[in-house]
Amino acid sequence: MDRMDRTDGYDALDGMAHGERPEYGERRGRPDRTGPALGTGRTDGAERTEGMDQPDRFERQLTRLMHQDRQPAAFENRHREALRAGVRARRRVRAARRAAGSVLAVAGLGLGLFLWPHGRTDDRPTAPHPRPMISPSPAPSTSPSPTPTPTPPLSPSAPPSSTSTDSPTPDDTWTTSAPPSRTETSATATQWPPSATAGSRDGSATPPATATVSATGEPPDEPTSAISPSG
């Protein structure tokens, strides 16, 4: 049986019908060559490659053998069933892959949206933290007052008169800050270490301090007596 005995009828890759097949020399693009026969020493693949023009006897026999031993194999029902089962299984696999891909895509999208910054964020640098009006330590660089004043050493038991004499320094500090309001006064009062000093300062320096004191709901007798030294 020769290779021309094939019954497949066409070669789809070549795009030619069976009878249109060219001969070996044409098909492989090589000139005719009468090579040595089998067993004459041509066992090296490199030799075969460089001088490969036309099939030698061994190659012809090999081609014949390959076409000769074809066994008739009918396409049986079990093959058809197995093929359909394979198609169904592959279809399921593809659907599962598609579903998994969709889930991953949705999850990735959701994660991206979750990590996306919400709303309008303030990227500007924050304002410096408010410094105390008078630092507890007499550091000249951080104190806004031109001359460090020994205000902290003042004890609550100090007489109001001495406080009123030292009042220019806190007064200068007060003018550099924001205008006093009721809340700020109370906030500032918390920053002053001794409450007695704050009270003396408020009472001696500015009238709004009096309003602050009155706003606390204390009896008007005591603030009046505290204001009286300045007035």
15 near other proteins, judged by CB under 8 A = yes
Task: Select from 5-13, 113-121, 166-174, 208-216 the region that touches other proteins (CB under 8 A).
Answer: 5-13
For residues 217 and 178, what is the distance between their CA atoms, to the nearest angstrom?
Answer: 25
79 near other proteins, judged by CB under 8 A = yes
Query: Residue 17: phi, psi to the nearest 5?
Result: -75, 170
For residues 38 and 160, what is the distance between their CA atoms, to the nearest angstrom?
Answer: 129
For residues 104 and 34, what is the distance between their CA atoms, to the nearest angstrom?
Answer: 63
Binding-site member from 82, 99, 100, 104 for other proteins (CB under 8 A): 82
For residues 194 and 202, what is the distance between their CA atoms, to the nearest angstrom?
Answer: 13
Binding-site member from 86, 132, 159, 168 for other proteins (CB under 8 A): 86
Task: Select from 83-91, 97-105, 165-173, 221-229 the region that touches other proteins (CB under 8 A).
Answer: 83-91
40 near other proteins, judged by CB under 8 A = yes
74 near other proteins, judged by CB under 8 A = yes
Write down the least CB distance from residue 90 to other proteins, Å.
5
44-73 residues near other proteins, rule: CB under 8 A: 44-46, 48-49, 52, 57-59, 61-63, 65-73
Strand residues in 15-74 grouped as ranges (E): 16-17
For residues 203 and 195, what is the distance between their CA atoms, to the nearest angstrom?
Answer: 12
Write down the least CB distance from residue 8 to other proteins, Å.
5
Q: Which of 53, 52, 70 is nearest to 3 (CA)?
A: 70
Task: Spell out, one character per residue from 136 to 165, where the chain touches other proteins: x when CB under 8 A holds, - when not.
Answer: ------------------------------
Contact 42, 48 (CB under 8 A): yes
Query: Residue 209: phi, psi to the nearest 5?
Result: -65, -30
The one-letter amino acid code at 120 reads R
Residues near other proteins (CB under 8 A): 3, 6-8, 10-15, 21, 27-29, 37-40, 42-46, 48-49, 52, 57-59, 61-63, 65-75, 79-80, 82-83, 86-87, 90, 94
